[in-house]
Amino acid sequence: MLARIMTSCVASALVLSAATGAIGAEAEKGTVTRVYNDNVAPADQVAYEAGVKAYNKCLADHGFKYTWTAWGHETGNTYLYSYVTGPHTWADFDKMQESGQACDDTWRKEANPHLKGEVSAFVELQPELSYPAKENPAKPFVMNVVFFKLKHGREPMEMWTENFKKIAAAAEKAKWPNHFTVQRVRSGGTDFPDYVLTAQYKTWADYGANTLANVWKMVEGVYGKQDTDAIRKALNDATEDITPHLDRYNADLTYTAPSK
């Protein structure tokens, strides 16, 4: 399974590429991101998007200090919208909930009536499993999100994480040009996986030119064929399912926090 996901240009920035709100130095140390996925019927898209814009205007009128970045799903279910904020600290979410209460009724009245459903999860950055770019593009564009659902039990979890660490370490050692970030899902229910691997691309051409398909060639160059085969087998044995989809940044539905 891992081979399939890696050879299909896994990764994106749905989770990590969200713009961080202007909330001070404490937020810069944050590792927690929140994601909402909204499912909207085709006939309700126009009204739903108007509702999101009304909600964002309410947030702006109240000086809301946390950015929510919007993404439209380009592949998979194209009637899904994702909203991402973070990374923040856990304490920031207490502040966020309190400061956003003034606009809760606006969301319920303007956007909720046009939803088929909504799911949410928290995700936490896993630095030891990641090989992030030094800098994200100033303006996000396209991203490919990959969900990893692991088999039940402690052993598959430990097997997966220990071997994925080796991939991240190999990428760092090889100075691989294809960056990725891995985050662990917290309290996502049945609608979310155990881990999300993400990466971001500046243009469609940038996305099309990535060479993530060469991940195992890169790993083999660092560890040799025998160890690479063992890593692949361990990851596949620990994985139950892998699901990728491609998203595109939606500037019209993004709420950008005011500058200090």
Query: In this structure, is residue 255 part of a structural domain?
Result: no
Q: Write down the pLDDT at residue 166.
A: 98
Among 69-78, 113-122, 183-192, the minimum mean pLDDT is found in 183-192
Q: Write down the pLDDT at residue 213.
A: 66
What residue numbers bound the domain in which 64 lies? 2-249
- The torsion defined by the Cα of 106, 75, 121 and 250, in degrees rounded to 10, comes to -40
Q: What gap in Å lies between CA 130 and CA 150, rounded to an integer?
A: 18
Q: Write down the pLDDT at residue 27.
A: 38
Contact 171, 131 (CB under 8 A): yes
pLDDT for 60 beyond 50: yes
Cα atoms found within 13 Å of the Cα of residue 212, Cβ hemisphere only? 27
Q: What gap in Å lies between CA 151 and CA 159, rounded to an integer?
A: 10
Nearest to 148 by CA among 161, 162, 136: 161
pLDDT for 55 beyond 50: yes
Query: In this structure, is residue 256 part of a structural domain?
Result: no
Residues whose CB is less than 8 angstroms from the CB of residue 259 and which lie 6 or more positions away in sequence, other chains included: 22
- Read off the pTM: 0.83
Query: In this structure, is residue 115 part of a structural domain?
Result: yes
Average pLDDT estimate for 116-128:
95
Going by pLDDT thresholds of 50, 70 and 90, the confidence category of residue 100 is very high
Query: In this structure, is residue 224 part of a structural domain?
Result: yes
Q: What gap in Å lies between CA 252 and CA 30, rounded to an integer?
A: 26
Residue 241 φ/ψ, nearest 5 degrees:
-160, 150
Contact 197, 182 (CB under 8 A): yes
pLDDT for 13 beyond 50: no
Q: Write down the pLDDT at residue 167.
A: 97
Q: Which residue has the higher pLDDT, 214 or 120?
A: 120
Query: In this structure, is residue 89 part of a structural domain?
Result: yes
Between CA 73 and CA 78, with CA 77 as vertex, the angle to 5 degrees is 45
Q: Which burial class, exposed, middle or buried, applies to 127 when counting CB atoms under 10 A from its CB (0-12, 13-18, 19+)?
A: exposed
Domain holding 7: CATH number? Answer: 3.30.70.100
Structural domain tally of the chain?
1
- The torsion defined by the Cα of 168, 169, 172 and 174, in degrees rounded to 10, comes to -110
* % of the chain with per-residue pLDDT over 90: 70
pLDDT for 15 beyond 70: no
Query: In this structure, is residue 258 part of a structural domain?
Result: no
Query: In this structure, is residue 170 part of a structural domain?
Result: yes
Of these ranges, 7-11, 123-127, 208-212, the one predicted with the greatest mean pLDDT is 123-127
Average model confidence (pLDDT) across the chain: 87
Q: Distances from the Cα of 14 to the Cαs of 114, 173, 231, 252, in angstroms?
A: 23, 26, 26, 16
Residue 174 φ/ψ, nearest 5 degrees:
-85, -5
Among 4-8, 100-104, 236-240, the minimum mean pLDDT is found in 4-8
Q: What is the pLDDT of residues 133-154, one digit of tens each?
A: 887 655 679 988 899 999 999 9
pLDDT for 9 beyond 50: no
Query: In this structure, is residue 254 part of a structural domain?
Result: no
pLDDT for 21 beyond 70: no
pLDDT for 3 beyond 50: no
Question: Which regions of the chain does DSSP assign to beta strands (E)?
Answer: 32-39, 69-73, 80-88, 117-125, 142-150, 181-186, 195-198, 200-201, 239-249
Q: Write down the pLDDT at residue 260.
A: 66
Average pLDDT estimate for 223-242:
97
Alpha helices in 104-238 (DSSP H): 104-110, 154-174, 204-209, 215-223, 225-238
